[in-house]
């Protein structure tokens, strides 16, 4: 029997997938628990329309995020830090500090989206990857400089 999944279900598929299962499994488990509905022509058409609308929304979202990435890449990021003898940094520059800088510039970027392998512990220029959405990311150039007294 063919059914349309109403939500993701491990072992069967994702929401809006049309899957073939045994009749008893569909009638006694999937349909009563509202995990799936029978795959009638009407339900298949609804699924196709819903998927088409979701794809259009996804494309729009990706276009918006790519434009945001271009804007982020053009922002000059300078982070002043306290240094000791030999230009040794006190502490380090973390993903949180980069996220805070971007928030001050008007970009809502969570610290978990800042891709730092390890905290920055030296003065210099770094290219940091900012994960924005699925496969869309931005390269932010970060200058870590001495704090002026």
The residue-averaged pLDDT of 2-29 equals 93
Percent of the chain with pLDDT over 90: 76
Q: Residue 39 maps to which CATH number? A: 3.40.5.10
Angle, alpha carbons 91-94-99 (nearest 5°): 140
Res. 142: pLDDT tops 90: yes
Q: Which CATH number belongs to the domain containing residue 91 in this structure?
A: 3.10.430.100
pLDDT of 85 > 90? The answer is no
Helices (H), the chain: 23-25, 41-73, 95-104
Contact call for residues 68 and 130 (beta carbons, < 8 A): no
- Token couple for 123: 């003065």
- Asked whether the whole model's pTM tops 0.85, one would answer no
Do 135 and 74 lie in one domain? The reply is: yes
Q: Is 27 exposed, middle or buried (0-12, 13-18, 19+ CB in 10 A)?
A: middle
Instruction: Report phi then psi at 64, rounded to 5.
Output: -60, -45
């Amino acid at each position: 029997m063919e059914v349309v999944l109403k939500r993701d279900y491990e072992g069967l598929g994702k929401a809006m997938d049309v899957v073939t299962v045994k009749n008893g499994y569909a009638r006694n488990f999937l349909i009563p628990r509202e995990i799936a509905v029978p795959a009638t022509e009407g339900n298949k058409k609804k699924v196709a329309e819903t998927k088409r609308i979701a794809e259009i929304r996804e494309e729009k979202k990706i276009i918006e995020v790519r434009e945001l990435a271009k804007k982020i890449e053009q922002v000059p990021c300078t982070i002043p830090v306290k240094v000791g003898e030999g230009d040794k940094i006190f502490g380090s520059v973390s993903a949180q500090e980069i996220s805070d800088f971007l928030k001050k510039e008007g970009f809502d970027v969570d610290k978990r989206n800042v891709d730092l392998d390890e905290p920055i512990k030296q003065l210099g220029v770094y290219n940091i990857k900012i994960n924005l959405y699925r496969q869309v990311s931005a390269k932010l150039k970060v200058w870590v400089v001495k704090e002026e007294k």
